[in-house]
Structure 1
């Protein structure tokens, strides 16, 4: 059953005053509340909140880990930290990684100590004796014999600080 257009208009016409009166009653309430707020401001009876100063204290935890930096960031930055040992960078073998150096042979000197012959990736040959340093982390040669060079390399570990890692360079057949 279809409702004729005139009937629709009549129903809307009767509902319209109810709708308008409902809106006007809300506006009256808001207007009343605003008037009260303005009167309170004019009377200045409302006490404004005053902030009390915080007590002074000395912060003594600068040396501890920051709680705002994730521990993974600390670990990654610590692994990239350069080794701060006495500088012996004048040795040419300090520029090459230990894995890239080849142990070509050894000779025994008059005192009975071995001296090693090490080849760089560029093809140059260098003599190495006990106490010399090799590689970017300044691995120290602690022992040389006919078949290998024994080294102690200092590496930085984020949890333990500087640790000593023992490495060997074996005699190369190349």
Structure 2
């Protein structure tokens, strides 16, 4: 357990293959953290979030009566798509845990950086447009930001671990 905690530090020195594998698995832990946060968001989306989303869609549909009948379908599609993404994340997290590599941490680092940027931009735009609650519940927005910062740190450790695993593999080949 201590090795795993040490491996999650993106600045720690990696001196052997076991430390490299543990560091690469830090990315899997970040993905699992995202799965847990995604499930929390999905539960909220299926409960009170559905009402908020349907109200926002109904307000948008007021301008277009043809779109009014699609609000229920759109909310169920959003729930289904969120569930699909959570399952994809879970699968990639399991792959990273059992077969650590450098590709998955790089992919998720890009996605997390994009998520941080788009969330920050969304907060700025919500303040400028005076949207308030339409941007999402405060706990979900700031909780998501905190989760993404932790994920970014763990994915950086995962990239370092995957890179070190490749170096150790290449050194064994010679």
Instruction: Give the TM-score normalised by the residue count of structure 2.
Output: 0.23
Q: Which has the higher contact order (CA 8 A, sep 6+)?
A: 2
Query: Over alpha carbons, which structure has the higher Rg?
Result: 1
Q: Which one has the bigger helix percentage?
A: 2
